[in-house]
Chains A and B, each alone.
Chain A
Amino acid sequence: MTSKIYVDLHVIQSVPPSCLNRDDAGSPKQAVYGGARRARVSSQAWKRATRLAFRDELAIPQNKLGVRTTRISSLLADRLRERTKIDAEAAGRLSTALLHDLKISEGKNAGETAYLLFFGWAQLDAIVDLVAGQVDELVALAADALAKTVADLPVRETLAVGHPIDVALFGRMVADLSTLNVEAAAQVAHAISTHPAEIEFDYFTAVDDQPRPDREDVGASMIGTVEFTSATLYRYATVGMHQLRANLGGDDDAAVQALGAFIRAFAKSMPTGHQNTFAHRTIPSLVSAAVRQDQPVNLVSAFERPVRSQSGLVAESTVQLARELTKASKRWGATPALVATEYDRPDGSSPDTAEQLREAFGSPLGLDAVIRTVETDVRTRLREIAPR
């Protein structure tokens, strides 16, 4: 019996004229696929949007999330002061001594690490727990004695367990101390348009509301262009549930909750580039989750032959995606264990098309139902495979 569980997410989402993710020339990012130029949104742009959605839209409390910063030492000092009322200087000394064991290269600024470290707020509190009972004795010690005493405390071990869900999903790389590395459980692909996409230029002028009275009207006081594109995007991500559970200390419930949060945040988040210019926030037209016990299957090949449609790009993209999913099952034997999908049956679709969609995606569900269905299924499967 296989010991893997992957959850593939396929999203089709249309965005109006917009510039979600741009390059150094200000153009929306692009890529060629199947010989046709496509609009592209990089994976890192959407991962950051997903991480921010954990906080802002899902309102996941801070102690369940991570923070990515060079300032672990001063954050730890702040936490020590809040908990034990020692003064700033003593908290700084204690914090430095506690983190010395990590041997993380120091940054150019005092108290900062040389690179961004991604860790959980709850992990910081757990480090404070290690010393909270004996702070007064510790701060009274001389530097050498303090270093020796705290050297025995399991600081490293504390940072290696109890990861917040964003660290567990997106991983962490610590160059100086590989025992702190966390292998990412989620893989996110660059989103690309299902169809050939054109970049357009919006020529704009801005008029001075208070022109100089001594001059004739000169017309615009400023002119410029903003580049934009509109696209129906295919977005893909996969989550290795066996990896996610291992990252979360073998806790099935925590892994299932993190998966639910990821599906919701990935589906509902949107990069904010030029957001106020284009008001581009849309919701997906299709969110399909496939639970697999064989291998992740990226269906972007459905759009290798770009969609050209008279009847709407979403409708045609949905049908092509369904065909590719069915083909993957039939021709390559890559049949998902479960598929749950939020989608609209395209208007005016023939009974054949409707049947094709149902065969691939199942009956349409709401996003909440998709998440519940997948969570229930994955929980059962996790019980059947032993943690590694």
Chain B
Amino acid sequence: MTAEHTAISGWYLVLRLAGPLQSWGGHSQFNRRDTQAEPTKSGIIGLLAAAQGRRRHDPIEDLLGLSFGVRTDQPGSMLRDYHTVSDLRGRPLLSATVNAKRTQKTTSPPKLTHVTRRFYLQDAVFVAAVNGPRELLESLRDALYGPAFPLFLGRRACPPTQPLLLSPSDDNPQTLWPGTSLLDVLRQVPWQAGEAHRRDRDGHRRTTLPVTIDDPSGDDIRADVPVTFDPHHRDFTSRRIRQEWVVLDDDTSSTREDDHDPFALLGGDR
């Protein structure tokens, strides 16, 4: 790469976000914990901050300057998880009504479990590109190779699978991606979908994937930029984004002999 090229282009950190479950909460309050259909900026900044060992009340201003784009390689589907809370002593939970002394009554007939609903994305794969000053990206990359806290995809019970970091070079897994824009980089990264998802699309030589990228003049808004993760002052602001598509040549589409599975034709095991 020439010095001139380096000067006009930027460097990008590229993450592969995959695992059985992920959950990227937008507005999660009370008993319903939602997930968005793709990773949020706050989720990715949280993941980077956790890798560096920042605590929740530590400043994150330098990370807020990063620009961010995400590509949906395999959209997955929504999973609603039924989650209950009960009193370890086996006592009935309290009801919403009060008695004459204004103390809360226990539920009658006794109710022993309280329900919350948690939403996850199951079987999804995303590629996220992050742009910023090169030294910062390098320090983030090093942190991701040796994270201070275990990393997770939006919720602690959702550890990522490997490889979390993608590299343009097989020889040196630690290199950043060169590129002229977030979109340019998201066009370069090979399709990361799993085998089953690819098989569904066999025969197609090209694939079209949706991307969402930071763009100050974009016409859409996402309210997922953290101001701070301090639990006392948790707050979000918004960013402008643009939604596009990238078309990839699927040079990896499987030509390999699969195990003989006659039921696959019938969509068995789905």
Contacts and interface: CB of A to CB of B under 8 A. Distances in A.
A108 B146 contact: no
A361 interface: no
Given A36-B196, A189-B159, A240-B150, A108 B20 contact: no
B177 to A, nearest CB: 17
Interface residues of A, number: 59
Contacts of B157: 42-44, 187-190
Interface string A327-358: 01001111000000000000000000000000
B159 A304 contact: no
B21 A297 contact: no
Contacts of B77: 32
Interface stretch (A23-31, A201-209, A251-259, A364-372): A23-31
Contacts of A181: 56, 231
Contacts of A183: 55, 149
Interface in A28-51: 29, 31-38, 42-44
Nearest to B79: A31
B194 A304 contact: yes
Interface in B214-234: 230-232
A173 B156 CA distance: 13
A33 B146 contact: no
B104 to A, nearest CB: 4
B90 interface: no
B269 A36 contact: yes
A35 B194 contact: yes
Interface in A85-119: 108-110
B122 A33 contact: yes
Interface stretch (B35-43, B63-71, B160-168, B242-250): B160-168
B93 to A, nearest CB: 11
Interface string B101-122: 0011000000000010000101
A366 B268 CA distance: 39
Nearest to A188: B157
A300 B153 CA distance: 14
Nearest to B89: A69
Interface residues of chain B: helix, strand, loop or mixed (majority): loop
A83 interface: no
A192 B157 CA distance: 12
A259 to B, nearest CB: 14
A333 B261 CA distance: 34
Nearest to A183: B149
A110 B156 CA distance: 34
A35 B57 contact: no
Given A6-B150, A33-B123, A68-B88, A298 B163 contact: no
A285 interface: no
Given A6-B150, A37-B270, A298 B122 contact: no
B259 A308 contact: yes
A43 B196 CA distance: 25
Nearest to B163: A332
Contact of B156 (A33, A67, A175, A187): A187
B203 interface: no
B192 to A, nearest CB: 12
Given A34-B196, A42-B81, A109 B122 contact: no
A184 interface: yes
* Most chain A beta-carbon neighbours within 10 Å: one of B120, B146, B199: B146
Given A36-B270, A178-B230, A294 B145 contact: yes
A240 B149 CA distance: 7
A208 B260 CA distance: 51
Given A32-B122, A178-B230, A2 B159 contact: no
Given A33-B20, A300-B20, 6 more contacts: A24-B115, A44-B83, A178-B230, A293-B146, A304-B195, A331-B163
A301 B162 contact: yes
Interface string A187-223: 1111010001000000000000000000000000000
Contacts of B268: 196
A24 B269 contact: no
